[in-house]
Amino acid sequence: MGGLRELADPFVVPGPAGVAVSARLRVSDTDAAVLREVGAFLGGLAAGDLARRCGQRLEHDAGSWAVRKRELTGLSSARWAGSVTKATHDQWALARRGQAAELAWLRGQITRIEARLARPLGAKADTRAGLPRGYGSRAEWHAKSRRLHALRDRLGRLEADWAAGRVHVVRGGKPLARLRHHLDQAGLDEHGWRRRWEAARMFLTADGESGKRFGNETIRITGTGHILIRLPAALAHLANAPHGRYRLDATAKFHHRGGEWCDRITANRAVAYRIHHDVLRGRWYVTASWQRTPAPVLPLEAALSRGVVAVDMNDDHLAAWQLDVHGNPVGEPRRFVYDLSGTTAHRDAQIRHALTRLLHHTRATGAAAIAVEDLDFTAGTSREKHGRNKRFRRLVSRFPTARLKARLTAMAAEQDIAVVAVDPAYTSRWGAQHWQQP
């Protein structure tokens, strides 16, 4: 008889450590032309720096980073060079993390397929012995054996890239680069695609610096919303303000967290800015971001001292029920419905609306914490785990686990509501087995 599964201890999820807010810029034609020229120039520098960094592979060190930054400084400025090289470093590191995740996924897929291929056709799973079920037919077994060879070949190439420190990255994004060869299916012409490609490859990102005026010397936004951009040395002839700066006619107004942003720039604390162009909407935006000290994580007993709202996440709704300090249900359960069909923007809005209603309900009950399942579906979409049940695999794939948890943590922190992660066995598994019938 196998041992019982151990339940993970519940814990209070720490709050977010960063903030990002956006505002629309109603730029003039002159402003747009200058932004495109500066963004394209700096984007070219960023592309060249990324190529050099990828060429260095695992031989990169602080000395080579300093050499790249000095070379870019002569073409732009020290702060622009710092922003470009930091963005390059972050992009290379992200690609390496992606390689590591893909390596783990491929090895897991290969292990599962090998285990199922070793079982007789039609064999049932043996959970006690840890044996998976066999494939249902000879045709399926043959198809999976071919897939196994393809995955092994893919794993071999990826392991070679990992050992050599070779990454494959595209400034502007691989999906947009591949779209160039499928313009008819996307309903685009070459000019429309080119505009999106150039906008995606622009570089108008400046890191903040505490102690400097308004928290940023490169892209400066004053308390009145006026924007001044420090031009690269090669584009100094575009300046219309002192000290080689260009002042936009447009102003920025941050409606969300505007008071917090204003407090930071008044105290000359670091604020990073990114100006970007949405070609589809024909709009320009500026995003301000900064780090902040996360609130201290409350002890679990303190978070649960005023009761808790227990939440079960489902494909189309959040099921919530208030619990007292002893864990007993109070009142009636609530359901907050959302629709995950449609575009990404629609799904994101649905999740945000459902979480807003959940937080309002939590405050109305007087509880100070929300208990959610500590779900992880990273391996749950595997076709080897759910077999031919494509409908269930698709359901699990579209379930916004990571986005929902991240958004809930950020939104709850703003309302001083703690988020407690518990083992999923407390809800779906043990709930149905022991408590649903009573």
How many Å apart are CA 410 and CA 412, to the nearest integer?
6
67 or 326: which leads in pLDDT: 67
pLDDT in tens, 412-436: 888 888 888 887 766 555 455 544 5
Task: State which fold the 298-435 domain adopts.
Answer: Nucleotidyltransferase; domain 5 (3.30.420)
Answer yes or no: is pLDDT of 6 > 90.
no
How many Å apart are CA 193 and CA 321, to the nearest integer?
49
Break the chain into its structural domains and give their ranges: 298-435
Q: Which residues pair with residue 24 across a beta bridge?
A: 285
How many Å apart are CA 122 and CA 262, to the nearest integer?
66
Answer yes or no: is pLDDT of 1 > 50.
no
All residues at 6 or more sequence positions from 436 whose CB lies less than 8 Å from its CB, including other chains: none
pLDDT in tens, 14-61: 878 888 999 999 999 999 999 999 999 999 999 999 999 999 999 989
Q: Which phi and psi angles does 201 have, rounded to 5°?
A: -95, 0
How many Å apart are CA 207 and CA 78, to the nearest integer?
12
Share in percent of the chain as helix, strand, coil (round to 5): 50, 20, 35
How many Å apart are CA 230 and CA 274, to the nearest integer?
13
How many Å apart are CA 74 and CA 81, to the nearest integer?
9
Confidence of residue 304 (pLDDT cuts 50, 70, 90): confident
DSSP 431: I
Q: Which residues of 228-260 are buried (b: 16+ CB within 10 A; e: fewer)?
A: bbbbbeebeebbeeeebbbbbebebebeebeee
How many Å apart are CA 73 and CA 365, to the nearest integer?
57
pLDDT value at position 335? Answer: 92
Q: Are 361 and 334 in contact (CB under 8 A)?
A: yes
How many Å apart are CA 330 and CA 420, to the nearest integer?
18
pLDDT value at position 410? Answer: 83
- Residue 39's nearest CA partner among 192, 195, 214 is 195
pTM of this prediction? 0.80
